[in-house]
């Protein structure tokens, strides 16, 4: 596929244009992917003093001190959202994590919520138990009316409506309860609303904080939690998985709209399906092969995807022989009889079982694999369970990280997520469309790059992070960088701008080096007369395209003038590109009593 004007896109395709993740061992999706391709296990083995549970339980001989620890589970930066410290403490950790992740996803996609026109849907899954484990419900006597009047930020039900409210958006808000299949259900509902035209963009995801945190688990034979803390998908000696926490969100838009809007596309949702086992011959909570198979096949049918074109299968992969056998059997029925054409893997070996966000970890792995055209190894798989009989299935275990070169000529991935209670869910993702060759960037043209933050410390961190990013990604074009910065970031009080003619000049400006001919402006820039600038409803408009005119515009903006950023990019074909998101400065907020 290309983005040429005559290209027709499947009206059922939905683009993933922004992503955010926090997982055990990774603060960003880039760190997460680096851990996967290098085969790192992010489950921690804890000292007794690190575990916040009853002493009797810790000394039980079957207590396993393993956990996927989320370093930021108790931290939050309320100032970015205009939230008071008292309210921040009242909010559950999942509410806080989801809100920051949604913000990051918008910025990763190159969108400023303040400038979004249209309806945005927010769909998110969380753990209803977390609120009760965190604290008793807040009340007027203990925390004042703010906690009640600001949409009950403690409640798991309002996690998604809080995201809309605190980011200044309107649209649907649906908090999903589908146990460990929650992330997939959120994406499924978001895609349906997008394709029905009920919304223009969507955030979908999930957040999970297991409390107490950190914690281990009590091993019981034939249950899903591991005897030694390691998860071994498809291994003959697997005994289950470890508990973990995290948050994953994605920004979605119909593919045709995303291409027309020059969005950055990580992957495409070709199809999704959900169902439930209902009354089943299997034990309650275990996969029922016929029902799971129907779910997987339905997702492929919805996307008009032939099974032999799906060359990556990211399994639910609990790492127990019995559950793995049920899943592989179900997937084999859905895929058909072709032998040895599809890579199979399981991310729980790396990060453990993230509950409602576990499907998000698998989807993020698949999306990054599609984007980087690489298959990450399944770790902790040392002796393949022969009862899985892989030679008679379509699947081949991914034992080593490798380049992804599919026989069908197109990269597609299927991701399964299962929830106790009979929930089945499956997503089919496809690699992003090929971008038509663009005209070369105009060399030497002066361009305005802008950054802003709440305070000078955050502004300095933004500059440092952007400098490192540009040095690590030399293929990024200056016009795309400036377009994404100017159009895709919320404007805050402390501001910095540079008028530059090349990536090298921008890196120099971010470093504080200002060679001859390079114009940089900060909050200390001299004030300029703004009466001569033309104006639109969105603020002042540039009076010229030369470096001096842009420098005057920058000086006016950093001193507090409102600017019509869109006027800077009229007639251009710049694309949104991923850049570092806002450098939150999280502080600990925790309340266990009121």
For residue 363, tell me if it sits in a domain. Answer: yes
- Residues 68, 128: one domain? yes
Domain match, 203 and 263 both:
yes
Helix (H), strand (E) at residue 94: helix 93-109
Instruction: Give me the pLDDT at residue 435, please.
Output: 80
User: What was the pLDDT predicted at 7?
Assistant: 66
Segment 147-162 shows an average pLDDT of 76
* pLDDT confidence of residue 310: 97
pLDDT band at 54; cut points 50, 70, 90: confident
At 136-146, the pLDDT tens digits run 776 655 555 65
| The pair of three-digit structure tokens given for residue 183, joined into one six-digit string | 């992330």
Same domain, 522 and 411: no
Question: Which of 88-97, 403-412, 460-469, 584-593 shows the lowest mean pLDDT across its residues?
Answer: 584-593
Q: Please tell me the predicted confidence (pLDDT) of residue 583.
A: 97
- Greater pLDDT, 340 or 460: 460
pLDDT (0 to 100) of residue 152: 67
Q: Which two tokens stand for residue 81?
A: 């959202």
Q: Averaged over 388-394, what is the pLDDT? A: 95
Q: What does the pLDDT average to over 148-173?
A: 85
Q: Which residue has the tokens 């996969």?
A: 287
Q: How confident is the model at residue 525 (pLDDT cuts 50, 70, 90)?
A: confident
Pick the more confident residue, 544 or 14.
Answer: 14
By C-alpha distance, which of 533, 82, 30 is closest to 266? 30
Q: Do 226 and 78 share a domain, yes or no?
A: yes
d(CA 207, CA 100): 11
Higher pLDDT: 526 or 214? It is 214
Per-residue pLDDT reduced to its tens digit, 240-275: 999 999 999 999 999 999 999 999 999 999 999 999
pLDDT recorded at residue 352: 98
Q: What is the mean pLDDT of residues 289-298?
A: 97
Greater pLDDT, 132 or 256: 256
How would you label 301-319 residue by residue, b for 16+ Cβ within 10 Å and e otherwise? bbbebebebbbbbbbbbbb
The 8 Å CB, 24+ separation contacts for 382-385 are 382/232, 382/235, 382/237, 383/235, 383/236, 383/237, 384/234, 384/235, 384/236, 385/234, 385/235, 385/236, 385/238, 385/321, 385/324, 385/325
Angle at 13 between CA 291 and CA 292, to 5 degrees: 10
Q: What percent of the chain has pLDDT over 90?
A: 76
Q: What is the pLDDT of residue 14?
A: 98
- pLDDT single digits (tens) 531-557: 778 888 888 887 777 888 899 899 999
CA gap 340, 592 in Å, rounded: 52
Grade residue 2 by pLDDT with cuts at 50, 70 and 90: very low
Identify the band that residue 176 occupies on the pLDDT scale cut at 50, 70 and 90: very high
Task: Flag whether 415 is in a domain.
Answer: yes
As a whole number, mean pLDDT of residues 558-580 equals: 93
Domain range enclosing 514: 450-568
Helices (H), 303-375: 321-335, 348-351, 358-372
Once rounded to an integer, what is the mean pLDDT over residues 495-523?
85
Between 337 and 478, the higher pLDDT residue: 478
List the single range of 55-64, 189-198, 210-219, 500-509 with lowest mean pLDDT.
55-64
Q: pLDDT: is 455 or 49 the higher one?
A: 455
Q: What is the mean pLDDT of residues 346-356?
A: 98
- Rounded percentage of the chain residues whose pLDDT exceeds 70: 94
Q: Flag the least confident range among 169-183, 251-265, 434-448, 495-509.
A: 434-448
386 and 485 share one domain: no
Residue 588, domain member (yes or no): no
pLDDT single digits (tens) 353-380: 999 999 999 999 999 999 999 999 999 9
Residue at token pair 């007027």: 140
Residues 147 and 188 in one domain: yes
Q: What local confidence, expressed as pLDDT, does residue 22 receive? A: 98
Query: Does 130 map to a domain?
Result: yes
User: Would you say 148 and 324 are in contact if contact means Cβ atoms under 8 Å apart?
Assistant: no
Name the token pair of 364. Answer: 């993020």
Is 1 within the bounds of a domain?
Answer: no
Cα distance between residue 284 and residue 276, in whole Å: 11
Tell whether 218 and 317 lie within a shared domain: yes
Q: How many residues are listed for the chain in this entry?
A: 594
Q: How many domains does the chain have?
A: 2
Per-residue pLDDT, 217 = 94
Residue 488: pLDDT above 90? yes
Identify the pLDDT of residue 529: 77
Using 50, 70 and 90 to split pLDDT, how confident is the model at 213? Answer: very high
581: in domain = no
384 and 463 inside one domain: no
pLDDT mean across residues, the chain: 92
Q: Supply the CATH number for residue 141's domain.
A: 3.40.47.10
What percent of the chain is helix, strand and coil (3-state, nearest 5)? 35, 20, 45
469 and 411 co-located in one domain: no
Task: Report yes or no on 579 lying in a domain.
Answer: no
Neighbours of 56 (CB within 10 A): 8
**237, 302: one domain:** yes
Distance of CA 48 to the CA centre of its chain: 32
Closest CA to 540 of 559, 560, 563: 563
CA–CA gap between residue 517 and residue 4 (Å, rounded): 38
| Separation CA 73–CA 27 (nearest Å) | 11
Both tokens assigned to 331: 């997937």
Last residue of a domain, one of 374, 399, 430: 430
151/496: higher pLDDT: 496
Is the model's pLDDT at 237 over the cut of 60? yes
Q: Is it the case that residue 203 has pLDDT exceeding 90? A: yes
Q: How far is C-alpha 441 from the chain's CA centre?
A: 30
Question: HSE on the CB side for 65, CA within 13 Å?
Answer: 16
Paired tokens of 41: 């296990």
Instruction: Tell me the angle at which helices 159-166 and 93-109 cross, rounded to the nearest 10 degrees.
Output: 50
**Do 403 and 469 fall into the same domain?**
no
Q: Rounded mean pLDDT of 272-281?
A: 89
CATH number, domain of 507, equals: 3.30.70.3290
Rounded Cα gap, residues 131 and 174, in angstroms: 17
Q: What is the pLDDT of residue 4?
A: 40
Both 491 and 348 in one domain: the answer is: no
The Cα 106–Cα 38 span in angstroms is 28
Decide if pLDDT at 219 tops 60: yes
pLDDT the model gives residue 594: 42
In a domain, 384, yes or no: yes
C-beta separation of 446 from 550 below 8 A: yes
Q: How many whole angstroms separate alpha carbon 512 and alpha carbon 430? A: 42
């Amino acid at each position: 596929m290309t983005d040429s004007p005559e290209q027709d896109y499947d009206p059922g395709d939905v683009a993933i244009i922004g992503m955010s993740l926090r997982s055990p061992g990774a603060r960003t999706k880039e760190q997460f992917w680096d851990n996967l391709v290098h085969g790192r296990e992010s489950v921690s083995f804890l000292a007794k003093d690190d575990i916040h549970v009853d002493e009797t339980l810790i000394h039980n001989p079957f207590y396993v001190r393993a956990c996927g620890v989320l370093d930021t589970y108790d931290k939050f930066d309320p100032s970015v959202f205009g939230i008071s410290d008292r309210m921040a403490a009242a909010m559950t950790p999942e509410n806080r994590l989801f809100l920051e992740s949604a913000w990051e996803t918008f910025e990763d996609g190159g969108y400023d919520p303040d400038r979004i026109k249209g309806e945005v849907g927010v769909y998110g899954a969380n753990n209803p138990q977390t609120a009760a484990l965190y604290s008793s419900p807040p009340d007027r006597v203990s925390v004042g009316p703010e906690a009640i009047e600001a949409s009950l930020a403690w409640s798991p039900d309002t996690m998604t409506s809080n995201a809309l409210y605190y980011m200044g958006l309107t649209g649907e808000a649906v908090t999903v309860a589908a146990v460990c299949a929650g992330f997939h259900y959120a994406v499924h509902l978001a895609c349906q609303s997008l394709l029905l035209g009920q919304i223009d963009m969507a955030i979908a995801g999930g957040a999970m904080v297991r409390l107490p945190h950190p914690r281990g688990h009590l091993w019981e034979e034939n249950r899903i939690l591991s005897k030694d803390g390691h998860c071994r998908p498809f291994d003959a000696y697997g005994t289950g998985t470890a508990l973990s926490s995290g948050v994953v969100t994605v920004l979605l838009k119909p593919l045709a709209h995303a291409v027309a809007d020059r969005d950055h596309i990580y992957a495409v949702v070709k199809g999704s399906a959900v169902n439930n086992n209902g009354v089943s011959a299997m034990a309650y909570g275990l996969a029922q092969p016929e029902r799971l198979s129907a779910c997987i096949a339905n997702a492929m049918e919805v996307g008009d995807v032939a099974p032999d074109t799906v060359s990556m299968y990211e399994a639910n992969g609990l790492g127990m022989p019995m559950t793995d056998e049920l899943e592989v059997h179900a997937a084999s029925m859905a895929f058909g009889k072709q032998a040895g054409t599809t890579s199979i893997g399981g991310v729980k070996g790396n990060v453990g079982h993230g509950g409602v966000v576990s499907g998000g970890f698998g989807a993020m792995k698949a999306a990054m694999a599609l984007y980087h055209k690489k298959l990450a190894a399944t770790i902790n798989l040392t002796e393949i369970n022969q009862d899985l009989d892989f030679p008679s299935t379509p699947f081949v275990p991914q034992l080593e990280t490798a380049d992804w070169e599919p026989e069908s000529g197109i990269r597609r991935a299927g991701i399964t997520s299962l929830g106790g209670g009979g929930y089945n869910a499956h997503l089919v993702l496809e690699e992003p469309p090929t971008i038509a060759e663009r005209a070369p960037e105009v060399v030497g043209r002066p361009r305005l790059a802008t950054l802003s933050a709440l305070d000078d410390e955050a502004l300095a961190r933004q500059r440092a992070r952007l400098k490192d990013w540009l040095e690590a990604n030399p293929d990024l074009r200056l016009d795309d960088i400036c377009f994404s910065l100017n159009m895709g970031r919320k404007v805050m009080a402390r501001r910095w701008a540079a008028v530059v003619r090349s990536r090298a000049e921008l890196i120099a400006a971010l470093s504080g080096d200002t060679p001859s001919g390079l114009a940089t402006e900060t909050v200390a820039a001299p004030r300029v007369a703004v009466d001569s600038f033309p104006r639109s409803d969105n603020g002042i408009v540039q009076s010229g395209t030369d470096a001096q005119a842009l420098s005057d515009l920058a000086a006016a903006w950093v001193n507090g003038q409102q600017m019509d950023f869109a006027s800077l990019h009229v007639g251009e074909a710049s694309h949104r590109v991923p850049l570092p998101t806002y450098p939150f400065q999280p502080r600990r907020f925790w309340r266990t009593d009121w």
